[in-house]
Every structure is written in C-alpha cells, then in structure tokens.
A and B are shown apart, each in its own frame.
Chain A
Amino acid sequence: EAGVTQFPSHSVIEKGQTVTLRCDPISGHDNLYWYRRVMGKEIKFLLHFVKESKQDESGMPNNRFLAERTGGTYSTLKVQPAELEDSGVYFCASSQDQGEDVEAFFGQGTRLTVV
C-alpha cells in the first residue's frame, strides 16, 4: 500500500511567485494534516481536513496560504505570493480517524526555498 506522497520534493522559487504543494494521503484516510518546519525549528501545525472540510486551520500563518482538498482525496497548499520566511519543509500526514490510538502517517515533506 502506498504511503503519504508529497509533490514536489523540492521547490525553489523567487519571492513574489506562487507555489503549489500537493499531498496524496493514504487511500481511505479521511483526515489530512499539513505541518511546516521552518529553519530547523519545531514542526508546526498548519491545518486539518476531515474529508473535504477544514476542521481546524488555526495554524495557517496568513492569507497568503490557501489549502484545499476537493473531493476529499488529495490536498493542495498554495502560497501566493511567496515570501522569504515561507522557506521550510512542509509535511503532510494522514490518518484514518481522529481517535486515540489511530496513527498518523507522514510524507517525506516538500522542501520549499524562497529566494
């Protein structure tokens, strides 16, 4: 069974450009999470989808970030326009449920560099 897949693995863009990151969760996983690690700091929660609905987007840094999950399958995270401080590794995770003892599986991350 395929794990959580993220595209691209690396992206280098100029300040002011737009970038779209994609996450394909494990098939059948209703819950999808986005996280970000900036500059070797802690990994921070961005938002949580249950199917196509945003259950919690309290971690989204500002309105330059737009996450979607049309049809409740894959998700995209768009940054527009990108700023230097958006550089970091963006992780996606998925889980079948939200309950205790339901493990979340992480992708390999997308390393975004804004120059």
Chain B
Amino acid sequence: AQKVTQAQTEISVVEKEDVTLDCVYETRDTTYYLFWYKQPPSGELVFLIRRNSFDEQNEISGRYSWNFQKSTSSFNFTITASQVVDSAVYFCALSDGGNFNKFYFGSGTKLNVKP
C-alpha cells in the first residue's frame, strides 16, 4: 500500500532561517512519482515539484531544493533563507504509474515564518 508520512505537524522559524520539511514514503511499486504541493492561506494546492522514481538527482529552484533518497525512502524539501510569504501548509504526495494524478498525500506540515 502507498503511504506518505510527514512527521512534522508544524514548524516555526524566523525569517531568513533555513528550514527542511521531511517526507518519508512507502510503496512496493518500482515506478512511482513524488510531489510537493504548497497550500497558502487562500486554500488552493499549488504544485511545486514532481520527481519520478528513476531520477534521484537533487533539484534546486531558487530558494527551494529537494533531496530525493531512495535508500531511505525520503523526499525532503528545504527552503533557504525563508521569507514570510513561505508561510503555508506543505504537502508531500506519492502517485504510482497506474494513475499519475491519483495522489497519496501526507498529513501536511504547517510552516510559520515570522518576521
């Protein structure tokens, strides 16, 4: 069965601090996809990144970076020099090759960035 665990329920940091959001997943599939979504106060889920199981390369996009490690079944998300606008709930998700957009989400991590 597919499962995603985000052990950090809520994190508070001060602006400009770096913060890492943890995501651990479980799946028996060899082909799968990992995602991060951001839910700002407005409510919609905003796509941040997608990774397939064959691509363990880490990715950096501006202040955001992602560390995918199959050996530990983790797909962690780091925000460097956090800003108040980063305050949101962040969801990690998994989908398998059968239905790309059928997601198994974690419970989310609420990030509070204080000025």
Interface of A with B (CB < 8 Å)?
A: 3-4, 9, 31, 33, 35, 40-45, 48, 55-56, 89, 91, 93, 95, 98-109
Contacts and interface: CB of A to CB of B under 8 A. Distances in A.
A43 to B, nearest CB: 4
Contacts of A45: 102-104
Contacts, number: 66
B106 to A, nearest CB: 6
Contacts of A55: 99
Interface stretch (B14-22, B41-49, B59-67, B71-79): B41-49
Contacts of A93: 45, 101
B88 to A, nearest CB: 13
Contact of B52 (A33, A44, A100, A103): A100
Q: Which 4 pairs between the two chains have the least Cβ-Cβ distance?
A: A106-B45, A108-B43, A43-B105, A104-B101
Contact of A108 (B33, B44, B47, B52): B44
A48 B44 contact: no
